[in-house]
Structure 1
Amino acid sequence: MGHLAFLLGLLFEATSICGIPFCSDDGQLAFYNSCNLTEVPRVPNTIIKLFLSYNYIRMINATSFPLLEMLQLLQLGTQHTPLIIEREAFRNLPNLRILDIGYSKIQFLHIDAFQGLPNLFELRLFFCNLSDSILKDGYFRNLSSLSVLDLSKNAIQNIHLHPSFEDLKSLESIDLSQNQISHVCERDLKLLQGKRFSLFNLSSNILFSRISVNWEECMNPFKNMFLEILDVSDNGWTVDIIQNFSRATNGTKILSLFLKNHIMGAGFGFHNIKEPDQDTFAALGMSSMIKMDISHGFIFSLNSHLFETLKKLKLINLSYNKVNQIAKEAFYGLDSLQVLNLSYNLLGELYNSDFYGLPNVAYIDLQKNHIGAIQAQTFNPLKNLKTLDLRDNAIKTVGFLPSITTVFLSGNKLVSFERRGITAEFLDLAENRLETLTDFYTLLQIPGLKFLILNKNRFSICYQHYSSSKNYTLEKLYLSENMLELVWQTGSCWNMFKGLYQLKVLFLNNNYLSFLPPDVFSDLTALQILSLHANKLTSLSPGVLPANLRVLILSHNLLLSPDPSIFASLSHLDISHNQYICDCEVKNFILWLNQTNVTMLGSPEDVYCTYPGSFSGVSLYSISTEGCDEEEALKFINFTLFIFFTTTLTLFLTATVIFTKFRGLCFSLWHKMVQRLTFKYHRQGVEEDQHKYDAYLCFSNKDFEWVQNALLHHLDSRYNSENRFNLCFEERDFLPGEDHINNIRDAIWSSRKTICIVTKHFLKDGWCIEAFNFAQSRYFSDLKDVLIMVVAGSLSQYQLMKYPPIRVFVQRQPYLKWPEDLQDVGWFLNKLSQSILTKKEEKKKSNNIALQTVATVS
């Protein structure tokens, strides 16, 4: 508690010194923390609070302070040098209420150091290197108003109280935590008998755990005391120690007992430490205890009748243990219990009998276990149960849910939701695996539902449209981090908010939304707050927002040039971090930003331009709209140019469409015309060539029929006299009986070009691959473009690159692809013919790649 009080003190400082410069005062508050002081500064006698921490003050004596009759708080803690406090060091502070010397190493403390402080209410001496003498030597004499004494984090080993403690009638809080106290007996605290303590803190010592205690001699340390909170946590207590302590303190009124960080229980997989049983806490039944904290331990099994005698207990905290088993009637006798905390344990299943004996329990916390199975009647007998927390478990179904006010089921494995008569006001189903909006519509049917959380699910499917319910009471709906864009872009479930007339808050963050369906919010007449944060909205249509909406969050979207009229009814708006285009189209929006009464959430610097580049990052609030009026004069010219270019573009597009649709016919007519004009020239060029063949056609035997119909009939002169080329292919022109390799070699070197028809059969034919290799070797020999590759069928680039000779060719030059559309065949054959006729010398060349950056603004 000492360090907590210290931190609270610092927080109190921070909230009290706003506007006061360091190392100065304002007449009532003097702030001299971290000012390198070696003595107390002179301050006005009107000062109420004086802060002197983090300095180098070595000594405080009777003359250190001037008479400060109004001073109520003095903070001297955390001095950087050892501190000496002399006799009556604070006598000039007669009305001091709080004295804080914590975290200062006290080198010397006079026994009369605190004399002259009749009104001192709280004394903080934590972490001051104090020993047993602070309690036994009378340092706190005459402190009749002292109520809170903090001696935590010191070196106290034994409690021997000075007789003056009997006179401390106002004392109600003692903090002795984090010392080295080994035992406390009745004789040690006899002077405190008859007192009422709001806190008696003995946590984090070595109390009763390092020594053997004769409890018959020690007896009850807290005899005739009334303790609102007794904290004996983190003392290494076992079942036996707690049982003996409970018996010793039998009859003492202890409203709240803290036993955190104990070592009761075998834990998981061990059996050498005792589990608590019905005798462990039995003697506490006379203490009128209403709160018990036995968290952070190793309890594995809650045994039968474990808390039977604790009839008045209202809250029990069993969190952070290893509870895996709940015995039958483990909670028997807890008739008054209202809060049961079993979070952060190892429960895997819950059974119908687990919570028997809890007729008045209102809150059960079971989060962060491993619960995957729950019997259907587990919670039904708990008629007063209002809140059930099952977050972060492994639950897949909800058939166990009773009618209840509040249910937390986030972080489970629900893939669907069946209502089955459930009623609830608050339902948290975030971070589950719900996918279809069927579950969403089912949830809306729950009577009385007011608060629904569905964040971080997987809503992305809508099978059908559903009609709205007639008794909606839903007020707050959270649907963030789902995938509603996938639903709405199919045109489905645009009515998912239909009938939600009472909805006031709707969160749709992070749903990848690029648009809002028309009238999607039309029934949300009571909606006050709408969050569309972190979506992909580029604009909002007029009328899409509910009329009564007051708060709209549109940050981190892609808004370009929003229409300010859309935001007219709002009181608060967040439009930060969007993609604003700062041209004259956004003029009205900029003017509205600087004139509106709408409260803008976020910083003005976060509302910035992204285009054009010269304005990138500039706040819209600092953009001038001067010069935009000149553009009005250009509107007529722009309109005329628009008509002209639209007409031209229409004619061009019409011609393009006609050509695309009938390109085969167009090419055929063009080809015939060109053929008549250049036929003689081409025939002469063929005849003058010294090669025996114009081209060697290499293909797989399995593709012969297709090659014959697709190529030979249209190119080979011996198939049709009107064809121009003398082609060579295996079935007709190879010499029978001749070695096949020789036939391939002769065909390649006797032809001007080699055409390889690459198909799936080609790639599996070893002779074809060998022929491709020979043709490529001729290329490297003559440095002439003598190889033409035609790919036919559904072959991927990956399939081609698997063959080294083909990979080398593809990396060197392009290949031809047989067209998929029949009307492109004529064009392809002409392209192939041109490739056969072309004589091209190959040279080393470099490929230049031009990079273009195209910016489109819409």
Structure 2
Amino acid sequence: MAPVKACPKPCRIMGDHLDLLLRVVLVASPVFGIPSCSSDGRIALFRFCNLTQVPQVLNTTERLLLSFNYIRTVTASSFPFLEQLQLLELGSQYTPLTIDKEAFRNLPNLRILDLGDSQINFLHPDAFQGLFHLFELRLFFCGLSDAILKDGYFRNLKSLTRLDLSKNQIRSLYLHPSFGELNSLESIDFSSNQIFLVCEHELRPLHGKTLSFLSLAANSLYSRVSVDWGKCMNPFRNMVLETLDVSGNGWTVDITGNFSNAISGSQAFSLTLAYHIMGATFGFHNMKDPDQSTFAGLARCSVRLLDLSHGFIFSLNSRVFERLRDLKVLNLAYNKINKIADEAFDGLDNLQVLNLSYNLIGELYNLNFYGLPKIANIDLQKNHIGIIQDQTFKFLEKLQTLDLRDNALTTIYFIPSIPNIFLGGNKLATLPKINLTANFIHLSENRLENLDILYFLLEVPHLQILILNQNRLSSCNGGQTPSENPSLEQLFLGENMLQLAWETELCWDVFEGLSHLQVLYLNNNYLNFLPPGIFSHLTALRGLSLNSNRLTVLSHNDLPANLEILDISRNQLLAPDPNFFVSLSILDITHNKFICECELSAFINWLNHTNVTVAGPPADIYCVYPDSFSGVSLFSLSTEDCDEEAILKSLKFSLFIGCTVTLTLFLMASLIVAKFRGFCFICYKTAQKLVFKDHPQGPDTYKYDAYMCFSSKDFEWVQNALLKHLDTQYSDQNRFNLCFEERDFVPGENHIANIQDAIWNSRKTVCLVSRHFLRDGWCLEAFSYAQGRCLSDLNSALIMVVVGSLSPYQLMKHQSIRGFVQNQQYLRWPEDLQDIGWFLHKLSQQILKKEKEKKKDSNIPLQTVATIS
């Protein structure tokens, strides 16, 4: 058979040229698809171009990007008249920046001006005049002082909506009266400055305005100075704030309480108090946890979202939030909460989302969530919850989602009937058999072992998605009856051990009732075979993942008829049949172990002409055998020489037609002989004895004629079938001096030594390969030693006899046997009793056969593997 050959270099590197071209394009145009330091008429990209002044660009430019340069000065003459320019990026200059009077007057339609992350040494008070359409102004991290607010820099910016002044050196918020004229202003960011105090009279120009976002975060606000709240009063009086961020200011319970009382009556729909220092934390008592009075001042603020995450709250005291009647979202994540007092959430009549993740909660009790009639989502992941009382969630009638992932639950006495249940990352080994209704169940990373649990979960009404990844599903008791589940659409069973369950030939019907299943994951399950008909009932299946298993072959009817997406990457497929994949839309077959011989030519041709989308880079679909082609992509191989095989097949067909009449007559004779072959063989032996006489054997240096290697569990059968007919000690009429373990091995001697002595002191080694033989480690070890002797002596001293209905697939699973059956002849014990005499004669000839010098015209072995040269 002609081998598959690699394409010549020009053919193989065509894809490399395309890849190289694509990389050049990407490097040359890292943003927007145009070369750096150039313009396409609409976008001018001049980042990292070592510029010291603004370059000249076309008047059609819409975006001018000049960051990461050395521009020092911007004046009114720096820009030509650019009527269409909407975005100007001047931030991140490597040198201090000076911005002169009306520096941007030639940009009348500018919408976004970015000067952020540039050290501004001088900014003229009239620098931004003329920018009547400016929508967003970025001045973060520019080294600006209080003057930027007090001296009217932003007057006449009637369209200004977003102003970013974060990370500067602003110390007070005395705003110029012109801020009152900025009627479009919605978002102001003062975070990460040095604003220690904000009082009512400072923000007076903003009174009466509605802001979507106001940030005073990370300023040490009110925490570094003593505050006379009677004089300071409410800084946000007559203001409506959709989001107020005062996080990261180091607030204690007292500061938070005073601030809450001060802003009482101002509307702040979303209040962020994250990164605080409220709470006693674990093992300390020098700081207070919030109590009833801490947030009482917020009662008239219409707060709907309160973020108290990233703090040190240890105990949620009783009625701590009772005045927050409008609250809908409460975030308490990343605290040190260990105790939830009874009625802690009392008063939160409208709360819908409660986040208690990343805390130190160990137990949940029946009254922990009392007072939450409208709660829909409770997040308790990443705690240390080990036990939950059975009534804890029972009366939460509106509950939709419960997240208990990554806790320490070993068992649960209940599962609430809610749409979405997250129980992954616990220590659950079993589930209670209760009436359950859910749309989504997440149980990954637990310790579930028995497939009874899967049968139970597949009966849950209305279930649409079930996730059981990373468990220990490996056993099956059998006897379960699969139920019809008309709602399940996605089933995740990856990273389990289903091979152990299915190899017992049980639970092959687990998917029978899933006629509406669309996506199934069976990756990483150690599968070396697919049970017959396992997917036959999955008529709606569209996506199947079998990656990272041990599959070597796919059989007909293994895959569902309507399958569209198949991931069978990282298996051990040697030469897949392309007919299995023609109906797919997407196929991932990367990182398999392809043997690049002519048997694979049909698959290679299919890969190069199919309309199926083959996922992954071509380099990940490669050969592993022979060594000269190891790592070579299948897309780089040519199958031209394999066409010679097609010519030979055509010639053989012609010869077949020409010899039809002769073969018909021969067949008739053969049928007669085959029917009475046992009688014919007896006649042949009788005639042979009359005509020829046996010649005595010459002197032999071997102690035994043959070493009979078989499993001890097969001894009785071997004795009746072979030893009584061949061994001289069983009958004087037998001609062979045989060696076998039960009789000839030296008791007490090392077993390996006994095996080696038997192999090297016998002319031949006869391995009787049965099911017991394949499970016996000593037998497989003896087989390997016998092969070693064959290689050492360059002879065929090993005779392999296959006993029973062992398939080639079962033989090929063992490496040493696979190498033998691919290159050498082997015998099979006859199924018909009349063939036993012939078989014993054949075996005797093999034992008596002496090795001769191999000729060049040696016979082709029974089973061969073509090598690629």
Match of 1:123 among 137, 140, 146: 137
2:377 and 2:399 in contact (8 A); partners too: yes
Query: Residue 526 of structure 2 corresponds to which residue in structure 1?
Result: 512
CA radius of gyration, larger in = 1
For the residues of structure 1 that align with 2:352 and 2:30, how far apart are their CA atoms? 39
CA change 1:665–1:674 in 2 (3 A) is closer
Q: For structure 2, which runs of at least 5 residues remain unmatched after alignment? A: 1-27, 657-676, 686-704, 710-717, 738-742, 767-790, 795-814, 823-864
| Secondary structure of 2:121's aligned partner | strand
Query: Residue 289 of structure 1 corresponds to which residue in structure 2?
Result: 303
Match of 1:94 among 91, 104, 108: 108
| Secondary structure of 1:661's aligned partner | helix
Match of 2:602 among 563, 588, 592: 588
| Secondary structure of 2:410's aligned partner | coil
Match of 2:728 among 666, 671, 680: 666
CA change 1:653–1:249 in 2 (3 A) is farther
For the residues of structure 2 that align with 1:450 and 1:674, how far apart are their CA atoms? 69
CA change 1:427–1:16 in 2 (3 A) is same
| Secondary structure of 1:123's aligned partner | strand
Match of 1:342 among 345, 352, 356: 356
After the TM superposition, which residues 349-748 of structure 1 pair with which residues of structure 2 at under 5 Å, given as runs?
Answer: 349-632=363-646, 661-662=723-724, 665-666=727-728
Kindly provide the CA deviation profile for residues 522-544 of structure 1, in whole angstroms up to 9, marking residues without a partner as x. 11000010011111111111111
Query: Residue 74 of structure 1 corresponds to which residue in structure 2?
Result: 88
Query: Residue 28 of structure 1 corresponds to which residue in structure 2?
Result: 42
CA change 1:499–1:164 in 2 (3 A) is same
For the residues of structure 2 that align with 1:237 and 1:171, how far apart are their CA atoms? 28
For the residues of structure 2 that align with 1:394 and 1:628, how far apart are their CA atoms? 61
Offset, 1:666: 2.5
CA change 1:620–1:252 in 2 (3 A) is same
Offset, 1:466: 1.6
**Which letter maps to 1:661?**
L
After the TM superposition, which residues 146-165 of structure 1 pair with which residues of structure 2 at under 5 Å, given as runs?
Answer: 146-165=160-179
| Secondary structure of 2:44's aligned partner | strand
Query: Residue 185 of structure 1 corresponds to which residue in structure 2?
Result: 199
2:459 and 2:484 in contact (8 A); partners too: no
After the TM superposition, which residues 127-142 of structure 1 pair with which residues of structure 2 at under 5 Å, given as runs?
Answer: 127-142=141-156
**Which letter maps to 2:534?**
V
For the residues of structure 2 that align with 1:74 and 1:624, how far apart are their CA atoms? 55
| Secondary structure of 1:306's aligned partner | coil
TM, length-normalised to structure 2? 0.75
For the residues of structure 1 that align with 2:310 and 2:708, how far apart are their CA atoms? 81
Match of 2:747 among 792, 809, 824: 792
Query: Residue 271 of structure 1 corresponds to which residue in structure 2?
Result: 285
| Secondary structure of 1:628's aligned partner | helix
Query: Residue 259 of structure 1 corresponds to which residue in structure 2?
Result: 273
**Which letter maps to 1:520?**
I
For the residues of structure 2 that align with 1:137 and 1:655, how far apart are their CA atoms? 105
**Which letter maps to 1:792?**
P
1:417 and 1:442 in contact (8 A); partners too: no
CA change 1:59–1:461 in 2 (3 A) is same
Offset, 1:496: 1.1
For the residues of structure 1 that align with 2:306 and 2:124, how far apart are their CA atoms? 40
Query: Residue 71 of structure 2 corresponds to which residue in structure 1?
Result: 57
**Which letter maps to 2:620?**
D
| Secondary structure of 1:629's aligned partner | helix
Offset, 1:794: 8.3
TM, length-normalised to structure 1? 0.75
For the residues of structure 1 that align with 2:541 and 2:389, how far apart are their CA atoms? 39
2:29 and 2:36 in contact (8 A); partners too: no
Query: Residue 699 of structure 1 corresponds to which residue in structure 2?
Result: none
For the residues of structure 1 that align with 2:626 and 2:417, how far apart are their CA atoms? 58
1:17 and 1:29 in contact (8 A); partners too: no
CA change 1:203–1:553 in 2 (3 A) is same
**Which letter maps to 2:574?**
L
Kindly provide the CA deviation profile for residues 451-475 of structure 1, in whole angstroms up to 9, marking residues without a partner as x. 0000000001111132111344211
For the residues of structure 1 that align with 2:48 and 2:735, how far apart are their CA atoms? 98
CA change 1:76–1:674 in 2 (3 A) is closer
For the residues of structure 2 that align with 1:673 and 1:464, how far apart are their CA atoms? 52
**Which letter maps to 2:61?**
I
Query: Residue 204 of structure 1 corresponds to which residue in structure 2?
Result: 218
**Which letter maps to 1:666?**
T
Work out whether 1:250 is the aligned partner of 2:261: no
Kindly provide the CA deviation profile for residues 426-474 of structure 1, in whole angstroms up to 9, marking residues without a partner as x. 0000000000101111111111111000000000111113211134421
**Which letter maps to 1:37?**
L
| Secondary structure of 2:728's aligned partner | helix
CA change 1:228–1:794 in 2 (3 A) is farther
**Which letter maps to 1:166?**
G
Work out whether 1:330 is the aligned partner of 2:344: yes
2:269 and 2:302 in contact (8 A); partners too: yes
Offset, 1:654: 14
1:399 and 1:420 in contact (8 A); partners too: no
Query: Residue 760 of structure 1 corresponds to which residue in structure 2?
Result: none
2:241 and 2:268 in contact (8 A); partners too: yes
For the residues of structure 2 that align with 1:133 and 1:381, how far apart are their CA atoms? 58
Offset, 1:16: 10
For the residues of structure 1 that align with 2:265 and 2:734, how far apart are their CA atoms? 118
Kindly provide the CA deviation profile for residues 552-597 of structure 1, in whole angstroms up to 9, marking residues without a partner as x. 1111111111111111211111111111111111121112112211
Query: Residue 759 of structure 1 corresponds to which residue in structure 2?
Result: none
1:177 and 1:201 in contact (8 A); partners too: yes
CA change 1:106–1:660 in 2 (3 A) is farther
Query: Residue 54 of structure 2 corresponds to which residue in structure 1?
Result: 40
2:54 and 2:78 in contact (8 A); partners too: yes
**Which letter maps to 2:334?**
Y
1:419 and 1:443 in contact (8 A); partners too: no
For the residues of structure 2 that align with 1:287 and 1:518, how far apart are their CA atoms? 66
Kindly provide the CA deviation profile for residues 456-513 of structure 1, in whole angstroms up to 9, marking residues without a partner as x. 0000111113211134421100000001111111211111111100100000111111
Offset, 1:653: 12
**Which letter maps to 2:365?**
Y
CA change 1:655–1:457 in 2 (3 A) is closer
For the residues of structure 2 that align with 1:571 and 1:409, how far apart are their CA atoms? 34
For the residues of structure 1 that align with 2:109 and 2:736, how far apart are their CA atoms? 115
For the residues of structure 2 that align with 1:73 and 1:105, how far apart are their CA atoms? 20
| Secondary structure of 2:178's aligned partner | helix
Identity %: 58
Query: Residue 697 of structure 1 corresponds to which residue in structure 2?
Result: none
| Secondary structure of 1:586's aligned partner | helix
For the residues of structure 1 that align with 2:792 and 2:750, how far apart are their CA atoms? 29
**Which letter maps to 1:244?**
N
For the residues of structure 2 that align with 1:232 and 1:607, how far apart are their CA atoms? 55
For the residues of structure 2 that align with 1:471 and 1:604, how far apart are their CA atoms? 40
Offset, 1:655: 10
Q: For structure 1, which runs of at least 5 residues remain unmatched after alignment? A: 1-13, 641-646, 676-709, 712-789, 798-809, 825-848
